[in-house]
Chains A and B, each alone.
Chain A
Amino acid sequence: MTASNNGFSVIGKPLPKPDAVSKVTGRAIYADDMLPARTLHCRILRSPHPHARILSIDTSAARRMAGVQAVITGADLPIKFGILPVTQDERALEHEKVRYVGDPIAAVAAVDEEIAAAACDAISVEYEVLEPVMTIDEALAESKDERIQDYGGPNNIHKLVALEFGDVEGGFASADHIREDVFFFQGNTHLPMEQHSAIATFIDGRVTLWSSTQVVHYVHRALSKVLELPMNRIRVIGAAHGGGFGGKTDPFAHEIIVCKLAMLTGRPVKCTLTREEVFYAHRGRHPVLMWVRTGVTKSGLITAMHFRSALDGGAYGSYGVASTFYTGALQTVTYDIPAYRFEGCRVFTNKPPCGPKRGHGTPQPRFALELHLEKIAHDLGIDPVDLKQRNFVKPMTRTVNWLRVTSCGLDECTEKVMTASGYRDREKRRGHGMGFAISSYLSGAGTAIYWNDMPHSEVQIKVDRGGVTAYCGAMDIGQGSDSVLAAIVAEELGIQAADVRLVTADTDTTPIDLGSYSSRVTFMAGNAAIEAARKMRALLVEAAAAKMGCAADAVAVGGARVGDFSFEEATILAEARFGTLTSAGSYTPPKIAGPFKGSGVGPSPAYSYSACVVDLDADPRTGLIHLNKVWIAHDVGRAINPLLVEGQVEGSVYMGLGEALMEEQEFRKGLHKWPSMLEYKSPTFLDMPEVETFIVETVDPEGPYGAKEAGQGPLLPVIPAVSAAVFDALGVWIDEVPVTPEKIVEALRRKEKGEPARFGPSRFPAIPYPACIQVEPPPRELDASAASI
Chain B
Amino acid sequence: MAREVDRQVVVLEVNGERAQLLLPVHKTLLEVLREDMQLTGTKHGCELGECGTCTVLVDGKPELSCLVLPVQVEGRAITTIEGMAKGSELHPLQQAFAELGAAQCGYCTPGILLAAKSLLESGAPTRDEIREALAGNLCRCTGYSKILDAVELAAVRIKASSPLAGEVARSAGGDVKPA
Contact = CB atoms under 8 A, between A and B. Distances in A.
A492 interface: no
B140 A688 contact: no
A676 B108 CA distance: 17
Interface string B93-107: 011011111011111
A392 interface: no
A690 B130 CA distance: 14
Contacts of A646: 101, 146
Interface string A24-41: 111111101101000000
Contacts, number: 193
B104 A275 contact: no
Contact of B103 (A20, A115, A190): A20
A644 B144 CA distance: 14
- Name the residue in A20, A274, A275 with the highest tally of chain B Cβ atoms < 10 Å from its Cβ: A20
A66 B147 CA distance: 47
Interface stretch (B6-14, B39-47, B156-164): B39-47
Nearest to B26: A114
A678 B97 CA distance: 26
A478 B2 contact: no
Contacts of B134: 685
Given A25-B82, A27-B41, A685-B137, A676 B50 contact: yes
Contact of B139 (A115, A193, A244, A245): A193
B107 A194 contact: yes
B104 A478 contact: yes
B146 A682 contact: no
Contact of B104 (A13, A27, A35, A479): A479
A537 to B, nearest CB: 23
A690 B127 CA distance: 11
B113 interface: yes
Interface string B114-153: 0000000000000000111011111111111111100000
Interface in A679-715: 682, 684-686, 688, 690-691
B140 A193 contact: yes
A147 to B, nearest CB: 36
A685 to B, nearest CB: 4
B176 A20 contact: yes
Contacts of A548: none
Interface residues of A, number: 67
Contacts of A29: 40
Interface stretch (B57-65, B68-76, B167-175): B167-175
B84 A477 contact: no
B178 interface: yes
A67 B110 contact: no
B109 interface: yes
A193 B138 contact: yes
Interface in A243-274: 243-245, 274
A227 interface: no
A402 to B, nearest CB: 35
Interface in A64-117: 65-67, 110-112, 115
B22 interface: no
Contacts of A676: 46, 48, 50
Looking at chain A's contact residues, the main secondary structure is loop
Most A CB contacts (10 A, CB to CB) among B3, B34, B90 go to B3
Interface residues of B, number: 64
A17 interface: yes
Contacts of B98: 16-17, 20-21, 23-24
B51 interface: yes
Contacts of B174: 498
B8 to A, nearest CB: 17
Interface stretch (A414-422, A587-595, A649-657): A649-657
Contact of A655 (B43, B103, B113, B140): B140
Contacts of B101: 14, 16-17, 20, 643-644, 646-647
A286 interface: no
Contacts of A654: 142-144
Given A16-B101, A192-B105, A682 B145 contact: no
B141 A115 contact: no
A678 B50 contact: yes
B145 A25 contact: no
B53 interface: yes
A400 interface: no
B29 interface: no
A676 B47 CA distance: 10
A241 interface: yes
B44 to A, nearest CB: 7
18 contacts: A14-B178, A21-B173, A22-B106, A24-B103, A24-B106, A24-B113, A25-B94, A26-B80, A35-B40, A242-B105, A478-B104, A643-B100, A646-B146, A650-B142, A651-B104, A678-B46, A678-B50, A688-B143
Interface of A: 13-17, 19-30, 32-33, 35, 65-67, 110-112, 115, 190-195, 240-245, 274-275, 477-480, 496, 498, 643-644, 646-647, 650-655, 676-678, 682, 684-686, 688, 690-691
